[in-house]
Amino acid sequence: MTRKHHAEHIINLTDNLFSFVNIKGKQNFLEVGCGNGAVSKHIAKKYRVKVTGTDVDPGMIQLAQENIDNVPNIRFLEADTTSLPFQDNDFDIVLSFGVMHHIPNWLGALDEINRVLKPKGYFIFFDLFYSNWATKIGKFFKNKYGITTIHDLSLFIEKNNFSTIYSSPLSKGLFGNSYQAVYQEGEL
């Protein structure tokens, strides 16, 4: 996400998803897999929430930390989404944008997101879901990539008492579909 045009596209999609979230006051926002931090910086400026961006790549964190002197309430940390360095129930909103299909243990990453999300918190999700035939082929690469499926995400959402505020497939491709959703966690 280092190209300006790509970053602008992602920011527009994120703003659309944020329209389904009740944003108020001093909420804590987490973006997992923040890359160069463009979305996190936008969120901090536009919505005035306290923003934390994490990425497993130290080079991306270094890029993200550039030019944040004029951005209030923002920080970037190197962190693995399957083992987040935060307390339980720490964030009001968590965004995962195009990250899960890069994480071999993507369901473990979802468990971590659920752990750090406050009761009634929002989980904003965008990613690629593989088709049935691509999933079968992808099993050979499961140590390097997350083999994300809508079935597994749906089971996770149901098991963890999330409500679907909004969901929509975006595009169909050879290997699968992109999908976006906003979920709200039920009370513990």
CATH code (residue 161): 3.40.50.150
As a whole number, mean pLDDT of residues 122-127 equals 95
In a domain, 177, yes or no: yes
The beta strands (E) that lie in the chain are given as 28-32, 50-55, 74-78, 91-97, 117-130, 162-172, 176-185
Least confidently predicted of 42-51, 112-121, 164-173: 164-173
The beta strands (E) that lie in 16-148 are given as 28-32, 50-55, 74-78, 91-97, 117-130
As a whole number, mean pLDDT of residues 116-121 equals 96
Q: What is the pLDDT of residue 86?
A: 98
- The whole domain housing 53 covers 4-18+28-185
In a domain, 23, yes or no: no
Residue 35 structure tokens: 């890359």
In a domain, 103, yes or no: yes
Q: What is the pLDDT of residue 170?
A: 61
**Above 70 in pLDDT, residue 130?**
no
Number of neighbours of residue 114 by Cβ within 10 angstroms: 20
Predicted confidence band of residue 75 (pLDDT cuts 50, 70, 90): very high
Overall number of domains in the chain = 1
Predicted confidence band of residue 133 (pLDDT cuts 50, 70, 90): very low
Q: How far apart are CA 58 and CA 78, in angstroms?
A: 6
In the chain, what percentage of residues exceed pLDDT 90?
63
In a domain, 51, yes or no: yes
